[in-house]
Amino acid sequence: MTSNSAIPPASSDSVADHAQAIHEALIAFYGYPQWREPLPALDELVSTILSQNTNDANRDRAFNSLRQRFPSWEEVRDAEPAEVIKAIHPAGLANQKGPRIQEVLRQITQQHNSLDLSFLHDMSSDDASAWLLKFKGVGPKTVAIVLQFSLNKPAFPVDTHIHRVSTRTGLITLKTSAEQAHILLAKALPKETYYAAHLNMIRLGREICQARLPKCGICPITNHCNYFRFNRTQSQITDKTSFDSRMVSNFIMAGNEEKKG
């Protein structure tokens, strides 16, 4: 079985229209989102490293524990690794994240002779991104989060929820990597929508467009979703509230066929 369910529209203009329609539908459903108060750039960078493979609550517990144990980033940088690992234990994968954080702090110090990243405010988005990406352990998602939420510079971070929503709606394909998704989605959306689109797509992915069993019956963007349209056709069911449990296997089968092609 071959499906075009995960293939985006043919032209860049139609991808942009598609992305805009999804953004507007989410604004109508959720409203304009408000995130927490922005953190300084280095705080956001460390917080994002802690967020990997965990939820926001565990990330915040680990971050607060780290700052209580070590009041300055210089102290974190120079601490015994075991002490940092212990402090960030709530975030999970502490044996990996602790050394990674300390190594990034050391790299920044070597490069800039300081851990004050306020100078990034005066750089262009491209230059700030390039500067941050020099450091091992700092990837496109981390950089985009720092740019968007700390430096107020246009960037569209893509996490696992946004990648899943974008694949199912056809904004990207099943073959699109996380790094490619950052570029493609940033091109598809106007810069002024990045903040709200990012937060609303994450919320949709967490609450409705979940990985194992998406709640398509209450989803506000089914009119713009290839995943819903394909599975509804395959199931030959007209009541969308009655077939959520049948959809995942159909889409996975189609995706496997696409990957073979």
Helix runs in the chain, H state only: 12-30, 41-51, 56-69, 73-78, 81-87, 94-112, 125-132, 140-145, 160-169, 178-188, 194-207, 226-235, 247-260
Which residues, in sequence order, are CB contacts of 236 under 8 Å at separation 6+? none
CB 184 within 8 A of CB 222: no
Q: pLDDT value at position 261?
A: 40
pLDDT at 236: 46
Q: How confident is the model at residue 157 (pLDDT cuts 50, 70, 90)?
A: very high
| Model pLDDT for residues 223-260, shown as the tens digit of each residue | 999 999 888 766 544 444 444 444 444 444 444 444 44
Q: Could you give the CA distance from residue 94 to residue 91 in angstroms, rounded to a whole number? A: 7
pLDDT at 168 over 70: yes
The CATH architecture to which 41-150 belongs is: Orthogonal Bundle (1.10)
Cβ 158 vs Cβ 150: under 8 Å: no
- Residue extents of the structural domains in the chain: 12-32+158-260, 41-150
In the residue annotation, 191 being an active-site residue is answered as no
Catalytic-role residue among 97, 134, 141, 260:
141
pTM as predicted: 0.82
187, 147 contact by CB (below 8 A)? no
The pLDDT of residue 234: 60
SS3 126: helix
CATH number of 12-32+158-260: 1.10.1670.10
Q: Is the pLDDT of residue 202 over 80?
A: yes
